[in-house]
Amino acid sequence: MTDRLPSEAERALYRQVLEQGGRVMFREAMQQDPEATLRLIEIGLLIHHAVDESLSAVNPRAVADRLSADLREAAIRKLANSQRTSAQLEDLVHAYDLAPRRPDRAHAVERVNDRQQIRHRIMQIESEMHEETLAAQPGGARPIGQMRQALQRSLDFLDRGIALRTLYQPGALADPPTVDYAATVSAGGERIRVLDEPFRRMLVFDRRIAIISASPDDNHAAFVEDPAVLAALIDLFERDWARAARIDWHALAGRPRDTGVPKEVGALLAQGLTQRAIASRLGLSERTVAAHIARLRELYDAETLFQLGWQLRGAPD
């Protein structure tokens, strides 16, 4: 593990990026120290945005979590080292928390009026996400370039056991690239429904921060962390979600029916095993099993785990 941790030169460069507000141009960093720049990108402490050739600093806690998870999965003999990961990055965590771009925003609504800054903030929030994303995407067809960029990120989130739920409007059903995208991420466990009502573009990460579009061109956005406002926005999303229609994206895309869930998970659910017991039996994380169960509940339109198990017992192999 220690050979993957940043060197003193790399740590110094990371601190300089934080001093610049957590965002610098890629060429500037490469001019200063190309080896350290590329190493920080490889480790994951910096994110390279190809759209505007900029770099964003990532919270070292999220990096430490990912490195620790890799170690635990790689081999039990490395567990002791993985437990020291957070401590070994503590100096960078301290620098990140003291950076001027991270004021205390509890009980706050912040307006950001620049598309690049909005993207930068969202990428940073995504790097720290652990549980779920709720997304409301109004309009019809999604831009193909945007879907290409989002596809791998969404699949990576799903692989990490993060739950994704997204609302579309009916226009998406008539756009083949959007349908194909929805079928691909649905196979990975994302849940996408269609609501034939107007709603505003919104993202909610881990139920702790919401981003709402504040202009028709999406060049302005409000970042909401106020608990009361956040709770109201989540409640609004949940009510829209309950009214939205379930869509068989695989059938719509002309693909064979495939749940994307290992058969063993369905078989053990049919036997009445709990989520924790299934995770233990198959050597999977509980988050991964939870994502599989959510996918099956969506496909079988089951409101409870009991209903799902009952339907699976009668489902064909």
Pick the range with the lowest mean pLDDT from 133-142, 147-156, 258-267. Answer: 258-267
Helices (H) and strands (E) counted in the chain, each on its own, are 16, 11
Domains identified in the chain and CATH numbers: 2-98 (1.10.10), 109-252 (3.30.870.10), 263-313 (1.10.10.10)
d(CA 188, CA 176): 19
The highest-confidence range among 59-73, 142-156, 194-208, 292-306, by mean pLDDT, is 194-208
d(CA 49, CA 26): 9
pLDDT higher than 50, residue 317:
no
Buried residues in 88-127 as b, exposed as e (16+ CB within 10 A): bbeebbebbeebeeeeeeeeeeeebeebeebbbbbebbbb
Query: Higher model confidence: residue 188 or residue 36?
Result: 36
pLDDT higher than 50, residue 221:
yes
Find how far residue 152's CA is from the centre of its chain: 10
What integer pLDDT is reported at residue 210 of this predicted model? 93
pLDDT higher than 50, residue 86:
yes
What integer pLDDT is reported at residue 247 of this predicted model? 84
Each residue's pLDDT tens digit, 97-118: 777 655 555 457 888 888 888 9
The highest-confidence range among 97-101, 174-178, 236-240, by mean pLDDT, is 236-240
Pick the range with the lowest mean pLDDT from 142-151, 173-182, 189-198. Answer: 142-151
20-26: Cβ within 8 A, 24+ apart? 21/99, 21/100, 21/101, 22/56, 22/57, 22/99, 22/101, 22/102, 22/120, 22/124, 23/54, 23/55, 23/56, 23/57, 23/120, 24/54, 24/55, 25/53, 25/54, 25/55, 26/53, 26/54, 26/55
Q: What is the percentage of the chain residues whose pLDDT exceeds 70? A: 87
pLDDT higher than 70, residue 257:
no
What integer pLDDT is reported at residue 80 of this predicted model? 56
pTM across the whole model:
0.58
Mean pLDDT of the chain: 83
Q: What is the percentage of the chain residues whose pLDDT exceeds 90? A: 21
pLDDT higher than 80, residue 220:
yes
